[in-house]
Structure 1
């Protein structure tokens, strides 16, 4: 992944390129982590990298459900606390969540490619305190901008968590994951096992 999105031809290309860049920034924070490290929450919050990947995938699917007006099953009760998105069950793994996230991203890209007009209306769900009650619709364009914002926010969370876990930062992680040639960044390497 280059450090910047590629040149773009048009608005759709730009929105997807910047969304892809932020997705890659989130995924790179998981590079080389053990399952225990991916589940660890070393900062003041309960967030962990695996949970952020899980949440990002669920967000993409949820927003595409909304764009397509498809029913994806029962929704959470607005008065019930949301703990499932960020927390892993015993049967979930970082590797599995990364695959699910990749699938959600590919589905988003395919859906967006199939929509001729990014100004197409997307109904705003009603009855949820986090959605504006006085607004009836967004556009597909707005949904994409929101996904960029949401993904970037969580990629930033993941950067901080990853640096707290083992000191790794973006450029050395990218250099390791993509086997960049020297001399620009020394690729990240796992710390030697102690004991």
Structure 2
């Protein structure tokens, strides 16, 4: 994917294109990482790249559950902590969470493609302190804008973490991951062994 979203035909196309662009930015932060690096939390925060990708997939699915009215709001298992979806379990891998994120994105895109009116109401869950108590519903449009915002926020977190891990930044990572021929950015390369 190029460094910018492609031209768009209409509102739905624009929302999905910009969401796809933000997803790609988040995924790019994992390019070339080892399992250990993907799980590491080298900044002041406890966040890590693999956990952010896992969270983004879970977030998209949760919002699509609301859109389809499959759930009444955010859910958490009784034994889960507030940040459990930001951490990989011992049996999860970076490749696995990246694959799951691709699947969640495809599910979102398919669901949105099947909705005739982006103004369709989406109920605001009750009893969640960060959701407004005086708003009855959002629209699918609002949900997509929120997903763009949420993905961009976590992409920014992942950018800082990645730069802390090995100095890699967004455009050189994109150049490496996508094999850009353009000489504007020197593609990121893993550090060689020190002598």
TM superposition score normalised by structure 1? 0.95
Counterpart of 1:143 in structure 2 is 143
Query: What is the CA–CA distance in structure 2 between the aligned matches of 1:73 and 1:131, rounded to whole Å?
Result: 10
Give 3-state SS (helix, strand or coil) of 2:161's partner.
helix
Query: What is the CA–CA distance in structure 1 between the aligned matches of 2:105 and 2:26, rounded to whole Å?
Result: 12
Query: What is the CA–CA distance in structure 2 between the aligned matches of 1:190 and 1:72, rounded to whole Å?
Result: 45
Q: Which runs of 5+ in 2 are unaligned?
A: none
Counterpart of 1:184 in structure 2 is 184
Counterpart of 2:170 in structure 1 is 170
Report the CA distance between 1:186 and its aligned residue: 1.1
RMSD of aligned alpha carbons: 1.9
Counterpart of 2:116 in structure 1 is 116
Give the ranges of 4+ consecutive aligned residues of structure 1 lying more than 4 Å apart after TM superposition.
Answer: none
Query: What is the CA–CA distance in structure 2 between the aligned matches of 1:72 and 1:27, rounded to whole Å?
Result: 29
Report the CA distance between 1:111 and its aligned residue: 0.3
1:145-160 to structure 2, matched below 5 A, reads 145-160=145-160
CA contact (8 A) 2:62 2:74 kept: no
Query: What is the CA–CA distance in structure 1 between the aligned matches of 2:19 and 2:158, rounded to whole Å?
Result: 16
Q: Which runs of 5+ in 1 are unaligned?
A: none
Counterpart of 1:36 in structure 2 is 36
TM superposition score normalised by structure 2? 0.95
| Length, aligned pairs only | 194
Query: What is the CA–CA distance in structure 1 between the aligned matches of 2:184 and 2:168, rounded to whole Å?
Result: 16
Q: Flag the 1:182–1:119 CA change in 2: closer, same or farther, 3 A.
A: closer
Counterpart of 1:47 in structure 2 is 47
